[in-house]
Structure 1
Amino acid sequence: MTRFTGKTAFITGGSRGIGKGVAELFAQEGANIAIIDINEDALAETAAEFKEKGYHIFVKKANVVEAGEVETAMEEVVQQFGTLDILVNNAGIIRDNLLFKMTDDDWQFVMDVHLKGSFNASRAAQKYMVKQNYGRIISISSTSALGNRGQANYATAKAGLQGLTKTLAIELGRYGITANSVAPGFIETEMTKATAERVGIPFTDFVNGAIAAIPVARSGKPADIANAVAFFADEKSSFVNGQVIYVAGGPKN
């Protein structure tokens, strides 16, 4: 018997990077896994990989910005697995640029995916969680929520997720539902590779540059974030609510 046997975890943007790392850990610990994403190829690859390992997995192409698509996916998940116990709001994008170069689309696209997407998923999930008087909502924020050059849109969205987290904690706590947030620092993912490419730096150099500023002297991996998410998702963490934990290899002010 493992921590999440009999539970169903729904992860948005879970076919790659941090989301996939989170899904993998939940699956290893006995959970049914549901992933939505807009990347069909990555979804298919992850589904095949998980099924080969004997995990119970549901995947569906769905855009978190479209409330109807999220609601339909959740209905199908509950039909298949019987419950929806854990929601991980992970779907995200970057459109980095300095403020004077940032376009309206750069701003709005990031707001929509991170904030509207998390709102849509949280609103849809709480219907099932309230009925069963149990649930865990974990949103992936970022150290960028504290401010980061070239990320006015992303930093604002990630800070917004922390406000959403604390509000969900206040509103839903009485129903046995906790809401918490994990704020990663530098994690080696496709997103950080894209950032390195954007600024014209080889990824190895980009990673080494980041490590130089990290007290534990290493970069983060998706598994580091997955461990923090699993802590919040654990039944034993029922008195931990409305919190943000920075997983960055050192303190963030």
Structure 2
Amino acid sequence: MESNVSYENEIEQLKIISENQEKLLKKLEELEKNDTEEEEKLKYIQSNINNLFEIVSRSINNNNNSNTTKSRSTSDIKIPINSSSNTTTTNNNNNNNNNNNNNNNNNNNNSSINNTQTVENNNSNIPSHNNTNNTINEILDSRETKKLYIDNEFENFIGRMIEAPSSSYRQEIIISEVKKGYMFSIRQIGELLNLLPYFSEKKSIIRIIRNSIHDYYNKQNLLEYLDEEAEEQKQELFNLLF
């Protein structure tokens, strides 16, 4: 009898050991599966980070090109006018015997200035996208609480957003900037919206940004700044913003 009991006990112990082994095998399989999922997540995050840096780099290059164009156009307008007035002053002071030549030069300069003013007046009648942006920025400038980002400040802000370790950190960064009184230009709002598809907390960020954009930005303005990723979600963005 005792031998039978001991045999049954051994069988029971073997069953328990077998069950425990099965449980351990299942746990190992789950751990391997989790490792694979984590690896996929890390690859996805790395891909998003690379995309973000590409967007910021593209934005910086666009800003540099825009600033170069503006500086060239300004110099083209100012140099002829200043040089002609300096030439007239020098000729008048150097020699009274050259009065006739100076008068001719003055007449030519006046004609040149009149022609320039005519061209400028004609150009001012042509509507342009830049005029719209300037009007919006002028309205923002007239507000009592105004702090518009310059390009370097905005780039630093975007950099901190990208490097933030989590969504809560990103949200705190935006809240702190809005509390300081910073307001975003139309171009900067467009760039922020382009980044949102890569952030999980986009709805809360949009609500915070909305406090700084007010009613002066319309849908058509923003459409010109949205890239393909944001374009796909534009209706959702507009529902939150307007």
How does the TM-score come out when normalised to structure 2? 0.28
Relative to total residues, which structure has the larger helix share, 1 or 2? Answer: 2
How does the TM-score come out when normalised to structure 1? 0.27
Relative to total residues, which structure has the larger strand share, 1 or 2? Answer: 1
More relative contact order, 1 or 2 (CA 8 Å, 6+ apart): 1
